[in-house]
A and B are shown apart, each in its own frame.
Chain A
């Protein structure tokens, strides 16, 4: 079974500085197509048309946080099983297990190396696809 290519990433982050650097890294270095927005509401308005291969979500956002945004996106037809990666400055005991239960592939912890971020995202993606192929075979 071939591994699907990662092309389109929907990225949600409320911090404008981080959003810009991450988008640049993914687009310029990873050559991904990125739709970036700053809230759950904006993500919901983008997700149908953009049809992402991957969701990249900041955990701590005001109003609706990353986990709640993921749940809201997953209720959309066509986005029920889109893989997700979280980004956060703080991972507390038990968070990782909770995120895994939600189907999150992995967590990227801030600070991250902006030069390496796109490779990191792709590695997580490839690892998860490889695991799902192993499990299905």
Chain B
């Protein structure tokens, strides 16, 4: 590796650690946004914000090696879109699926965070 590679690897590790450190809080905010959207008559602005944040987490999660979080965010983004599309029918099963996907996302975020506290290396949070 060159000096530039080494320097970049160090910076990448620092950014990755910072990403993981704020992951539980970030997912908690998503959870709060989901509850707000569900209890605010499925308001469009809230949905767009939540959907966009999930899309970002999908991209940033995989970029920092947190593939489980990225996948859970992708699933939740999809289920949320399906629930919104069928909003008039109030489908209980789709609501259950959204809640299950959020639970999965929270579980993944917490698992990766705990792993980092035990010395897990950035970029290996799969």
Chain A residues close to B by CB (< 8 Å): 14-15, 17-18, 20-21, 24-25, 28-29, 60, 62, 89-90, 110-112, 114-115
Chain B residues close to A by CB (< 8 Å): 4-5, 7-9, 11-12, 15, 19, 48-49, 52, 55-56, 58-60, 62-64, 67, 70
Per a CB cutoff under 8 Å, which of B9, B15, B52 touches A60? B52
Alpha-carbon distance A29/B19, docked complex (angstroms)? 21
Interface centre among B5, B9, B15, B70 (most CB of A within 10 A): B15
Q: Which 10 A-B pairs have the closest CB atoms?
A: A111-B62, A89-B59, A110-B59, A28-B8, A17-B60, A15-B56, A111-B63, A89-B58, A28-B4, A18-B60
A contact patch SS? loop
Residue contact A24 to B60, C-beta cutoff 8 Å = no
B contact patch SS? helix
Per a CB cutoff under 8 Å, which of A24, A89, A114, A115 touches B55? A89
- Using CB atoms, name the residue of chain A closest to B12: A114
A15-B59, A89-B55 given; A29·B5 CB < 8 A: yes
Alpha-carbon distance A115/B62, docked complex (angstroms)? 14
Residues of A within 8 A of B5 (CB): 29, 115
A–B complex contacts, Cβ < 8 Å, 11 sampled: A14-B56, A15-B56, A15-B59, A17-B15, A17-B64, A18-B63, A21-B15, A24-B15, A89-B58, A112-B63, A114-B8
